[in-house]
Structure 1
Amino acid sequence: MHLILIVIFAILAILALWWGARLKRERKDGVDALEQDDRLQRVDSDKAVPAPGKPSATQPDMPPTAPAPPPVAGGETIATPQPVPSAVPPVPAEPAVEPVAAAPAPPAPPVAPLAPAPAGDTLTTLKGVGPKVAAKLNELGITSFAELAALSPEQAAAIDAEMGNFKGRMARDRWQEQAALLAAGDRAGYEAKFGKLG
């Protein structure tokens, strides 16, 4: 008797497994057919989602509404049907983000427009100013002795901060003082303080 029950149970288990495998295969074939018709888009091996713009059978685009009541004779007014609440809670709208005003940038030092240096007004004449330093000063708008000599302490500090590897050389080599003497044409005063001009 026990042996018969065991055999029946084994047959039922095999039938259940076979039936489950058959249902799974039918489901997979149905999903594949929907994908080929471009009605579904596969996310992973077991799940399929509707293609963009197409409603899913389980999640329609619009919430269902209650059926409209039948017309009433005698011209009575009937209430408009109310939508049936969806099981999915509505997603709250994101709050509008106001653009944050950027902090005003510090004012750039006033830079004179690039103009050719006057004849003989070559910045490389200054002690401690070579071709690379002169080129960097030209990039920053300083092309003559007069422009260099006329810088305010704030402007000079801003220019010096932009000098990269040459930062600090303006004060150490006294470029502004040299430039002021040369801009005034005081060659003797320059050579007395800084040595003979080359």
Structure 2
Amino acid sequence: MGTTSTDHGVQAYAWVTPATLIAIAVFAVLVIAAIIWGARLKAQRKAAEVELRDEAEAIVANTPVDDTAPTEVLVVPPPPVAPAPPPLAASETPATYEPAPVATPAPSASPSATGADDLTLLKGVGPKLAARLAELGVTRFAQVAALSSAEADALDAQLGTFRGRLTRDRWIDQAAYLAKDDRKGFEAEFGKL
């Protein structure tokens, strides 16, 4: 004998037991309780917002406005700014470095074919900085050693990203030794060449 259609219907609902029905009912009750609880919290929050708004409006409405009393204004002073330098007189021009002519070539540590010294022997001078100095007309140790304080400041101002190295690395002192080809004095003061 085969199975009848009623047997298929019974088998389709075989998973439905009293325990399953009870679990579904408990879950449904919990969901409904959560929805009701959420609705109550929302109503309480709205009531509190309305109460706060009403209190704020009442305070504003009961506060007398005194138009004659001065109001305090907090004034924050701007940050201090360095004073501008005084204007140049008609006879003054901005300082720029003009290389001093070297009367007699001094012996150099490593002269090149052009008669220029190897300025990279100065501590703190690399190839890029030596090229920048050459662009400014400084190619000899004697030129660096002979710089006055004003000329050194003017040259330093034209060094761009290398500004400050002339003083910090004591180029004038170094160049004085190298212009005289005094390697021992240089190395005693500044270290090995």
TM-score by length of 2: 0.45
Structure showing greater Rg? 2
TM-score by length of 1: 0.43
Higher helix share: 2
The structure with higher relative contact order (CA 8 Å, sep 6+) is 2
